[in-house]
Chain A
Amino acid sequence: MIPPAYAPDEARGLWVFLEQEGGQLEGVALELLGKGRELARARGILLTGLLLGHGVEAGARQAIAHGADHVVVAEDPLLAAYTTDAYTNVSARIILERKPETLLLGATPNGRDLAGRLAVRLRTGLTADCTGLAWEEGTGLLLGEVTGFGGGVMASIKCARHRPQMATVRPGIFPLPPSDPDHAGRIESVAVSLEAGEIRTQILERVRHAGVDITRASVIVAGGRGVKGDFGPVTELARLLGGEVGASRVACDLGWIGRDHQIGQTGFVTRPKVALVCGISGATQFSVGVKDAGLIVAINSDPEAPIFEEADVCVVDDLFPVLEALIAELKRRRP
C-alpha cells in the first residue's frame, strides 16, 4: 500500500471545499454544505468549510448561513482566481496540519482539477462524481455511490485506511439547503505562505458565458436529433416557462447548440421540476441527466423510442406541431 499522509485515528471532522467565483460561493459548494450538515449531524461531528480566495468574507458568512460550523479562510491576492498550483499548495498545507477525516469537493472543472491533484499530493483515495453519500454502518466510513459505464452500472466506494477520504459531487445532485442567517459558526483566517514562483499557470483571459446554468433550472426544455437543427421552438417554450434549454449530446455534437446545454452522463445532471424532452430517443447516456426530474414529458414521433419508458407524460407525434400547439396554449391561458 502507498503510505497515507496521516492515520485514520488522527483525523477529525467533515470538510467541504468552498469553490468561489469573485467571492461568491458556487452553488455546488452550498449543496455540499447542505448534505454535509446532514452527514455531520448523523455522527455528531463538526462541519468545516475550506475557503480560498481574495476578498471572500461574504462567502464565509454565506457558508455559515448554509450550515457550516466553522470556516477556514485562506486569503491572498494570488488566490483570487483558481490556479492548480496555488490552490493545491495552500489546501494541502492546511489539510496536512488540520487532518480532516473527510473532504468533499464540487465536481466542477476546477473542483476536479484540484481534487485529482490534491488526492495524489495527500496520497489518499478520491471517489469521483458521487450521486449519493452516506456513512457505512458500523465503520462510519464514507460510502460514495457512483455511476459508471455510461450510467448503467452503480457502485459504492469507500476509502478504508487513508485520510482524508475525498469525494467529488456534481452540481445539482444534492438540493440547495435553505439559508439561515441566525445559524452560528466561527470564521477563522489562516496565514497563507504562498510565493508567486510556486504558480506555473498564468491566466490570460476568462470568459463567463452569460446566463446558462441548466443544473439550477426548475424547468428544462431539451431538444435532440429530432429538432433537426432548429432550437427555435424549444427555446421559445423554455422562455415561456421560465426555464432553460437543454440538449442531447448529439445535438451538441452537431453544433446546433453549446455544450453548456448538454444533459447526460457527459454533460450536466439536472434536477428540474419539469423536463420536456423533445425529439430525443432516450439513450441511457442522456436519461441519467434527467432521471431525478419531478416530471418527465417526452415528445417523439417514434412510438418505440426508449424515452417513453422513462417518461411520465408521453406524446407520440411530430415534434414541431406539438410544440407550436403547446406554445399557443400556454400563451392563450397566460394570466
Chain B
Amino acid sequence: MSESASVCVLDDVAWQEVTAATMGAAAPCFQCGVCTAVCPWGLVQKEPVSIRRLIRMAQLRVDGWGEAIWLCTTCGLCEARCPRGVPVSEIILALRRLAWERRAAPKGLPTMLWAIHWDGNPWDQPPSQRQAWAKGLDLKPFAVGDDLLLYVGCTAAYDRRSQRIARSLVTLLRSAGVSFGILPDEPCCGESVRMVGQEAYLAELVEGNARRFKEAGVRTLVTVSPHCLDMFRTQYPSWDGFRPLHYTEYLAELLDGGRLSFARELPVTVTYHDPCYLGRRHGIYDPPRKLLAAIPGLTLVELPSSREDALCCGGGGGRMWLETHAGERFADLRVREAQGTGAEWLVTSCPFCILCLEDSAKVLGSEQLKVVDVTELAVRALGDGR
C-alpha cells in the first residue's frame, strides 16, 4: 500500500472512535519510522506497510487506514524495536475493531467467525470430529488430580498435518509418566476472534471458556499452539493455581526433572524457527532449544535471524484466514534462510508456523529440507521403538 493511496478524512466521529479504540496508545510515538523499516512486509512488497503512518493516523485520529491494517501478522518485530514502547499490535487490533463497525472487514472473516460460533472452531469442521486427532490413543477426559490439562487447540485438533504434533506430544507425555486429560468438547480459545478485532465477541467466548476450565478444576494447562498460550496468559482471567504453559516449557521441565530423556541418537543438523508468539511475545527461546540439545547426536545451527530478531512465518494476526498472494509469503524467505544454513530439518513449535513453512517448502520444491515440530523430532529420539 503506497502512502499516497491512503485518503485522510478528518471527522469528529472518527476522532472520537479512534481515541476510544486505541485508548491513546499511539500517543508516545514520535514518528521515528523504525517500525516501518523493520516490518517484514517491506521484504515482500515494493512499498512497505507504513506502520509509522498508521500510528500517526491513529494519533491524529483520522480515518483512511484502508487495507493495510489487515496485513499485519502481529509478529511484534516493530514493537521489539520501538524506542517508545508503542503497542503497535494493540493499535492495529483496535483499528480492525473500528473497521467492523464500518462494515469494512475483509471478505471471509465473517465466515470464519460463524464457524467458531456454530462449530466451535475456525476451520469449519464438525464439532463431532474434534477428538478425531486422538483416534486409537485412548485418551482420558481431564480429572482433578491429573498433572495437567492438554489443550490441543483447533488447528492441531482438525488439521491433518498438525494432528501429528498433538499425537507426538501425547507420546512424549506418556513416556514421562505424566497424568493428563483432555476436555471433551474442548472449546476454541478465541485467538482468531481477537486477531480479527472482534473484542466483544471474544469477551463472551472467554467468559464461558474460563468458567468451564475453572469448574473442571484446571490448574496446569499445556497448549500445543503458542497462539492459544498467548490467549490463556494475556486474555483469560487467572484463578488460583492456573498455570498455562506451552508444551516446550513443560517438556523442558520434565527434562530438568529427569522424567524425560532421549536415548536414541539422531545424527542430523537442524535449524530452529522461533514462533513469534512463543519468542517475542513470551520470551520462550530456551526451552525448545534445550529439548533439541538433549537429543544425542543432533546439531543445531541458528538461522540468520533468530530469537528476538526472528522473521515471522506470516500466519499470525488472523492472516491464516486471509489470502496471502504467492510471492508475498514470509515463509518463502524463511525456508530460503533455512536452506542456507545447510540444515536437513527446519524445526519449529507452532502449528501455524508448520503450515506456512511446509507450504513454502513445497512450493519452493525444497526436497531436502523437512519441516517438523519439536515434538515430532523428540518422539524419534525416545529410542524405544516408537
Q: Report which A residues bind B (CB closer than 8 A).
A: 302, 304, 318
* Cα of A304 to Cα of B164 in the assembled complex, Å: 12
- List the 3 closest A-B pairs by CB distance, nearest first: A302-B160, A304-B160, A318-B362
Which chain B residues lie closer than 8 Å to A304 at the CB level? Answer: 160
Interface string of B224-242 (1 = CB under 8 A from A): 0000000000000000000
Task: A304 to B362: give the CA distance in the assembly, Å.
Answer: 19
Closest to A301 in B: B362
For B160, the chain A residues whose CB sits under 8 A away are 302, 304
| Chain A residues with CB below 8 A from B362, complex form | 318
A302 nearest CB neighbor, chain B only: B160
Which residues in window 328-368 of B have CB below 8 A to A?
362
Complex-state Cα separation, A311 to B362, whole angstroms: 26
Can you identify 3 A-B contacts, CB atoms within 8 angstroms?
A302-B160, A304-B160, A318-B362
Q: Per DSSP, are chain B's interface residues mostly helix, strand or loop, or mixed? A: helix
In the bound complex, what is the Cα–Cα distance between A304 and B160 (angstroms)?
8
Q: Chain B, 159-189, contact with A by CB distance < 8 Å: what is the 0/1 string?
A: 0100000000000000000000000000000
A222 to B160, CA, bound (A): 22
Query: Would you give the shortest CB distance from A265 to chain B, in whole angstroms?
Result: 15
Closest beta carbon of chain A to B327's beta carbon, Å: 14
A302 CA to B163 CA, complexed, in Å: 13
User: Smallest Cβ distance from A228 to chain B, in angstroms?
Assistant: 9
Q: Which single residue of chain B is at the shortest CB-CB distance from A283?
A: B126
Q: Which residue of A lies closest to B363 (CB)?
A: A228
B361 CB to closest chain A CB (Å) equals 12
Query: In the assembled complex, which residues on chain B have CB atoms less than 8 Å from the CB atom of A302?
Result: 160
Least distance between B74 CB and chain A CB atoms (Å): 25
Over the window 140-171 of chain B, the binary record of Cβ atoms lying under 8 Å from chain A Cβ atoms (1 yes, 0 no) is: 00000000000000000000100000000000
Instruction: Return B351 CB to nearest CB of chain A, in Å.
Output: 16
Minimum CB–CB distance for A75 against chain B, Å:
48
| Closest A residue by C-beta to B126 | A283
How far is it, in angstroms, between the C-alpha of A10 and the C-alpha of B231 when the chains are bound? 70
- Give the distance in Å from the alpha carbon of A68 to the alpha carbon of B160 in the complex: 53
Q: In whole Å, how far is A322's beta carbon from the nearest beta carbon of chain B?
A: 14
B371 CB to nearest chain A CB (Å) = 14
Q: How far is the CB of A57 from chain B (nearest CB, A)?
A: 50
Cα(A204)–Cα(B14), bound, Å: 43
In the complex the two chains form, what is the Cα distance from A143 to B88 in whole Å?
Answer: 65
Docked complex Cα distance between A237 and B137 (Å): 42
Nearest CB in chain B: distance from A287 CB, A: 15
**Min CB–CB distance A274 → chain B (angstroms):** 27
Please measure, in the bound complex, the distance between the C-alpha atom of A302 and the C-alpha atom of B164, giving whole angstroms.
Answer: 13
Complex Cα distance, B159 from A304, in Å, reads 12
Whole-angstrom CA separation of A302 from B362 in the bound complex: 14
| Closest chain B residue to A318, Cβ basis | B362
B143 to chain A, nearest CB (A): 30
Which residue of A is nearest B107, CB measured?
A: A255
Complex Cα gap A197–B323 (Å): 52
Q: In angstroms, how far is the closest chain A Cβ from the Cβ of B63? A: 29
Distance in Å from the Cβ of B108 to the closest Cβ of chain A?
9
Residues of B contacting A318 with CB < 8 Å?
362
How far is B108's CA from A93's CA once the two chains are assembled, in angstroms?
48
* Minimum C-beta distance from B46 to chain A (A): 23
User: In whole angstroms, how far apart are the Cα atoms of A318 and B358 in the complex?
Assistant: 13
Closest to A303 in B: B160
A58–B160 CA distance with the chains assembled, in angstroms:
56
Q: Nearest Cβ distance between residue A153 and chain B, in whole angstroms?
A: 15
* A320 CB to nearest chain B CB (Å): 10
Q: What's the least CB distance linking A253 to chain B, in Å?
A: 9
B59 CB to closest chain A CB, in angstroms?
A: 38
In chain B, residues 84-124, which have Cβ atoms closer than 8 Å to a Cβ of chain A? Answer: none
The CA-CA distance from A302 to B161 in the complex, in Å, is: 9
The complex places the Cα of A304 from the Cα of B136 at a distance, in Å, of 15
A231 and B283 CA atoms in complex are apart in Å by: 44
CA distance A304 to B132 in the complex (A): 12
How long is the Cα–Cα vector from A318 to B362 in the complex, in angstroms?
Answer: 9
Complex CA gap A318/B359 in Å reads 12
Q: CA–CA, A192 to B316, complex, Å?
A: 66
A304 CA to B162 CA in the complex, in Å? 13
Roughly how many angstroms separate A80 CA and B363 CA in the complex, as a whole number? 54
Whole-angstrom distance between the Cβ of A323 and the nearest chain B Cβ: 15
Min CB–CB distance A240 → chain B (angstroms): 26
CA gap between A10 and B58 in the complex, in Å = 78
Residue of A nearest to B160 (CB): A302
Q: CA–CA, A302 to B158, complex, Å?
A: 13
Write the chain B residue with the least CB distance to A255: B107
Name the distance in Å between A56's Cβ and chain B's nearest Cβ: 44
A302 to B160, CA, bound (A): 8
| CB proximity of B107 to chain A, nearest CB, Å | 9
* Interface of chain B residues 362 through 382 with chain A (CB within 8 A): 362
How many whole Å from B254's CB to the nearest CB in chain A? 30
A304 to B158, CA, bound (A): 13
